[in-house]
């Protein structure tokens, strides 16, 4: 397996961000002409794949190649996936790229006590915001009564 130039897994919506780079996608073949195949990507966009497809060509094909523009790929490698490939298996954030599942909210907001200027507290706060978790932030400046209640072996 060649890992020197990995291919980004894209759909029709993500292809425009990878023009000129190596990409990988799965299409449902709708039309096959001499030298090109037209198909539907996992998000329903129409893509044109140029190159020599394998014979016989099945209904679902994985293509690795270089993105020429926002809706066409110059194929280097074709892989037949068969006639009953389930697109629901491809319906994940990696392929779709535009959808997400919101996190489940905790029953009560989390309580975070932090020292001002601590890089560890900032990392925790950024993670909580990205995970969309409700939290209450309590500032404990150095020398405050809350900081003296902590055990002396904990980093300050």
pTM over 0.75: no
**C-alpha to C-alpha distance for 31 and 48, rounded to whole angstroms:** 9
| 129 in a structural domain | yes
The verdict on 64 and 118 lying in the same domain is: no
The verdict on 92 and 115 lying in the same domain is: no
- pLDDT of 79-127, one tens digit each? 888 887 654 544 444 444 555 566 666 678 888 888 777 788 888 888 8
Mean pLDDT of the chain: 78
For 138, the domain range is 110-148
Q: Residue 66 above 60 pLDDT?
A: yes
The verdict on 16 and 77 lying in the same domain is: yes
Is the bond preceding 56 in cis, omega lying within 30 degrees of 0? yes
Lowest mean pLDDT among 34-38, 119-123, 141-145: 141-145
The verdict on 29 and 78 lying in the same domain is: yes
The verdict on 35 and 91 lying in the same domain is: yes
Task: State the burial class of residue 11 (Cβ atoms within 10 Å of its Cβ: 0-12, 13-18, 19+).
Answer: buried
| 1 in a structural domain | no
Q: Tokens 């291919």 belong to which residue?
A: 7
What is the model's pLDDT at position 81?
83
Q: Are 111 and 138 in contact (CB under 8 A)?
A: yes
The enclosing domain of 38 has a CATH number of 2.40.50.140
Angstrom distances, CA of residue 33 to CA of 29, 44, 57, 80, 89: 11, 20, 11, 17, 28
The verdict on 59 and 127 lying in the same domain is: no
The verdict on 57 and 86 lying in the same domain is: yes
- pLDDT of 6-22, one tens digit each? 788 888 888 888 899 99
């Amino acid at each position: 397996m060649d890992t020197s130039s990995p291919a980004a897994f894209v759909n029709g919506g993500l292809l425009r961000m990878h023009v000129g780079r190596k990409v990988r996608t799965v299409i449902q073949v709708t039309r096959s002409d001499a030298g090109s195949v037209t198909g539907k990507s996992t998000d329903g966009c129409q893509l044109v794949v140029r190159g020599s497809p394998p014979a016989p060509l099945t209904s679902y094909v994985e293509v690795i190649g270089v993105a020429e523009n926002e809706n066409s790929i110059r194929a280097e490698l074709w892989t037949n996936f068969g006639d009953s490939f389930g697109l629901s298996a491809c319906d994940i954030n990696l392929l779709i790229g535009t959808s997400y599942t919101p996190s489940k909210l905790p029953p009560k907001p989390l309580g975070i006590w932090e020292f001002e200027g601590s890089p560890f507290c900032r990392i925790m706060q950024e993670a909580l915001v990205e995970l969309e978790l409700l939290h209450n932030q309590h500032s404990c400046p150095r020398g405050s009564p809350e900081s003296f209640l902590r055990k002396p072996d904990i980093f300050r």
